[in-house]
Structure 1
Amino acid sequence: MSNKKHVLIMGGDARYIHVINLLADTTDMHLYLIGFDHLSFEKSNIKHTELENMNLSLLDAIILPVGGTDEKGKVEVTYSDKALFLTEQIISCTPEHCTIYTGTANHYLQHICTATKRTLVKIFERDDVAIYNSIPTAEGTLKLAMKATDETIHNANVCILGFGRVGKTVARLFDAVGANVTVVARNQADIARITEMGLTAVKLQNLNTIISEMTICVNTIPYPVIDEELISNMSSSTVIIDLASKPGGVDFSFAKKEGIQAIHALGLPGKTAPKTAGKIIASVLLESMNVSASSV
């Protein structure tokens, strides 16, 4: 009896090209691809398919893009012109042990997995994945900042909102290239750690007192924090880079009205370093599915 796993990969960005190749490197896996019509793969255990042709009862896992689905079940596809949706009916046709893998999950995706009693694994909730992903996120943020300003990052006043897994890495990188880094946090222990790192610590409630001095403002806080009042106190040349997931933490419409450049920088690992980001995702998937591959 074969112990090979049957895995359906539905959509994804450039990271998933590397995920597919790395998963296919193991002989213990058959991969079925939907949403990659524009690409070809040479490995014999990779097969392009369509949902209407797929025997869903074979599946041990479904792998979704890092963003999961939207609230109507639509799945992001980069390498196909066809719209792709994941529904409760589709999941219900899989075996009970079939696991759904995603980066993050909204209410819709969580609901259909709960309704069908299928396990949902949100890999971006893992600390190790978030920390590894913070590296290409930070590098991508630095790249955006360099492109958006007409001054060097060295000696620029840079404000980082939030001192979580992403905020720490972003703060370290901007400090390493010579920026004057101010980190905004609420937790007293974070304030102490920021100070220990040789950076300037400011409590969130005091952000308005220093925001006018900032050249670049990077937000990592996933709720509305850069509001009308804060934007009104910014210099017109300030650049805002929001790393928080949708809907973000910035009043983008008011920033536009005030003529302040605000960038909602989503999916930076996939844009900045898709190969590295793909390796991170693949290693977690292989570990979770109890499959080993020496190339990852």
Structure 2
Amino acid sequence: MAFILLSGSGDIMKQITVIGGDSRLKTAAEILKSDGFTVNFTDSYTEKEAQNSDVLLLPVPTTRDSKTVFAPLAKKEVLLSDIERLTKSGTLILTCNYMFEGKNCIDYGKDDAYCLLNAIPTAEGAIKLAIENTPFTLWGSRVLVIGCGRTGKILADRLKNIGCRVTVSARKQSDFAIISAAGCRCEYTADIPKNLNYDIIFNTVDVKVIPDDAFKECTASLIIDLSSKGGFDVSAAQGCGITAIKAPGLPGKTAPETAGKILAKTVKEIIESKT
């Protein structure tokens, strides 16, 4: 079942069809409507909807199985193949970590500003998980943040500000300089398996950095994986008595309103750059 969100003035600037997603996508749709767009939020994608769409907004992530649109709140599936088949050539398709080859498609998941802003609710959600899953304060804890990307930097900053003893792993000397300037310790990512003497570990990278046998010497009581693909085997960590949590997509779970605002801002900027 679809419903139309009309702009307050009744003027149609752009017809945006929104498919799938969680509550953050609903928030984004409502904000776009208030900004003057006409938004069709739907859990189906028919030829009629395809013909009436100037912009097709897909969720974060666009898919988790490479076959269907990620839509945990929908009553039925929308196939990626249907989107590819039905979408007209002029329609702008906005995706996250997925591309429709040969289509007018932009992956907003690669937008630097979006990723940086999205790292804020990710960091806050990760800290929330850590507080809920440890019997001690984060203050004074020895914490390792694996990765010095956008999420890693913001998470390390937030952890340091609440009194954690933070180590950040990286590969480049330029990142080591940034880490040191922020008052954190540095560690080569390749050397992580040699020293897992921490209370809490957060992973932010999408490659396996902790081999299964390294958990036998790990002192951490909690490991949280924020990456989409995984930086370690959760079951291997749990087998060594460690609480291990796979936690992708935290913004949509812990701060959907803020995450929706960030997404709407990004979508509006992309559309305006194309008009």
> Do they fold alike, i.e. is TM over 0.5?
yes
Does residue 25 in structure 1 map to residue 34 in structure 2? yes
TM-score (norm 1): 0.83
Which blocks of at least 5 consecutive residues in structure 2 are unaligned? 1-10
Q: Which amino acid aligns with 2:198?
A: M
Of 54, 73, 86 in structure 2, the residue corresponding to residue 79 of structure 1 is 73
Match of 1:283 in 2: 265
The superposition leaves residues 151-193 of structure 1 with CA deviations (integer Å, 9 ceiling, x where unpaired) of 0000000001111111000000000000010111111121122
Q: Residues 204 and 26 of structure 1: is their aligned pair in 2 closer, same or farther, counting only changes over 3 Å?
A: closer
Match of 1:12 in 2: 21
Of 88, 93, 97 in structure 2, the residue corresponding to residue 100 of structure 1 is 93
Residues in 2 aligned to 1:64 and 1:57: alpha-carbon distance in whole angstroms: 16
For the residue of structure 2 that corresponds to 1:100, the secondary structure is: strand
Structure 1 vs Structure 2 CA RMSD: 1.9
Q: How far off is 1:75 after superposition?
A: 1.3
Match of 1:229 in 2: 213
The superposition leaves residues 228-269 of structure 1 with CA deviations (integer Å, 9 ceiling, x where unpaired) of 13212112x5210011112x1111121122221111111111
Q: Residues 194 and 4 of structure 1: is their aligned pair in 2 closer, same or farther, counting only changes over 3 Å?
A: closer
Q: Residues 197 and 26 of structure 1: is their aligned pair in 2 closer, same or farther, counting only changes over 3 Å?
A: closer
Preserved CA contact (<8 Å) 2:202 2:226:
yes
Stretch moving more, 253-262 or 69-78: 69-78
Match of 2:199 in 1: 215
TM-score (norm 2): 0.89
Of 111, 121, 129 in structure 2, the residue corresponding to residue 126 of structure 1 is 111
Which portions of structure 1, spanning 4 or more consecutive aligned residues, are displaced by more than 6 angstroms? none
Does residue 178 in structure 1 map to residue 187 in structure 2? no
Q: How far off is 1:30 after superposition?
A: 2.3
Preserved CA contact (<8 Å) 2:160 2:166:
yes
Q: Residues 30 and 207 of structure 1: is their aligned pair in 2 closer, same or farther, counting only changes over 3 Å?
A: same
Equivalent positions of 1:33-112 (< 5 A) are: 33-35=41-43, 50-52=44-46, 54-87=48-81, 89-105=82-98, 110=99
Q: Which amino acid aligns with 1:256?
A: Q
Residues in 1 aligned to 2:138 and 2:265: alpha-carbon distance in whole angstroms: 34
Residues in 2 aligned to 1:66 and 1:96: alpha-carbon distance in whole angstroms: 23
Which blocks of at least 5 consecutive residues in structure 1 are unaligned? 36-49, 292-296
Preserved CA contact (<8 Å) 2:193 2:209:
no
Residues in 2 aligned to 1:119 and 1:67: alpha-carbon distance in whole angstroms: 18
Match of 2:226 in 1: 243
The number of aligned residues is 263
Q: Which amino acid aligns with 1:264?
A: K
Residues in 2 aligned to 1:84 and 1:119: alpha-carbon distance in whole angstroms: 19
Q: Residues 200 and 31 of structure 1: is their aligned pair in 2 closer, same or farther, counting only changes over 3 Å?
A: same
For the residue of structure 2 that corresponds to 1:182, the secondary structure is: strand
Q: How far off is 1:72 after superposition?
A: 4.2
Q: How far off is 1:3 after superposition?
A: 6.2
Q: How far off is 1:59 after superposition?
A: 1.5
Stretch moving more, 159-168 or 90-99: 90-99
Q: Which amino acid aligns with 1:100?
A: I
Preserved CA contact (<8 Å) 2:47 2:86:
no
Preserved CA contact (<8 Å) 2:144 2:201:
yes
